[in-house]
């Protein structure tokens, strides 16, 4: 990933926040005919290891699952934070070209496959995390345990132990401060949650600049 010094995250926690707030990611690995890519939900355990551990699963019917079992190289998980096309009309002097503000995280690491008990625990954890903010959300307790257990052999659970963590927070830090702050002001006035989240990041990453 190309990351200018000004686009570096301010902390590893900022990187973890992108993953935890945007857990729907891409798993990428080398395949026989080119990259294998699958969209998956991930759960990050930031307390494990120096850079954290990601947990996910995919269908064994997916050819990617079989390829992962023979993988010798690191796998890659990709996450995207809020992003937005930035029109030049938002800049005070309108003398800068348009661009895109965004954040992205790339996690490289080796895979460790789960046994059925570990997979069961991971699926339960994922369900609880996904349902926690839904009013009267669903629980696995609402169906017989056998209905969960009989499905587990059909999925491959794994952990990605992060060995290399790359992050890019392109939020106007390499542009004049007045331009970046004008963009932040526009985004914070939006009714879009994504725009407001991005605006908050732009403001925080530029407010201390000279």
Measured CA to CA, the distance from residue 7 to residue 5 in angstroms comes to 5
Tell me if 162 sits within 8 A of 107, measured CB to CB: yes
Structural domains of the chain ordered from first start = 5-175 (2.30.110.10)
**What's the predicted TM-score (pTM) here?**
0.94
Structure tokens at 91: 């800049």
Which are the contacts of 91, defined by CB distance < 8 A and separation ≥ 6? 179, 182, 183
Q: CB 154: neighbour CB atoms within 10 A?
A: 10
pLDDT, averaged in runs of 10, over the chain (210 residues): 96 98 97 94 96 97 95 96 97 93 98 97 94 92 92 97 98 96 98 97 95
């Amino acid at each position: 990933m190309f990351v200018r010094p000004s686009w570096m995250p301010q902390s590893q926690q900022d990187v973890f926040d992108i993953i935890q707030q945007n857990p729907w990611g891409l798993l990428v690995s080398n395949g026989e005919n080119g990259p294998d890519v699958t969209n998956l939900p991930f759960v990050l355990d930031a307390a494990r290891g120096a850079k954290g551990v990601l947990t996910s699963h995919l269908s064994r019917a997916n050819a990617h699952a079989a390829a992962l079992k023979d993988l010798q190289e690191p796998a890659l998980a990709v996450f995207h934070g809020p992003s937005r096309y930035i029109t030049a009309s938002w800049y005070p002097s309108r003398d800068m070209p348009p661009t895109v503000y965004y954040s992205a995280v790339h996690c490289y690491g080796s895979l460790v496959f789960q046994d059925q008990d570990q997979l069961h625990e991971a699926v339960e954890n994922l369900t609880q995390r996904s349902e926690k903010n839904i009013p009267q959300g669903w629980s696995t307790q609402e169906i017989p345990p056998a209905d969960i257990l009989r499905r587990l052999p059909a999925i491959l659970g794994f952990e990605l132990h992060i060995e290399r963590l790359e992050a890019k927070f392109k939020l106007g830090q390499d542009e004049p401060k007045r331009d970046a702050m004008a963009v932040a002001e526009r985004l914070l006035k939006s009714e879009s949650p994504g725009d407001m989240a991005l605006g908050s990041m732009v403001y925080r990453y530029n407010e201390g600049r000279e």
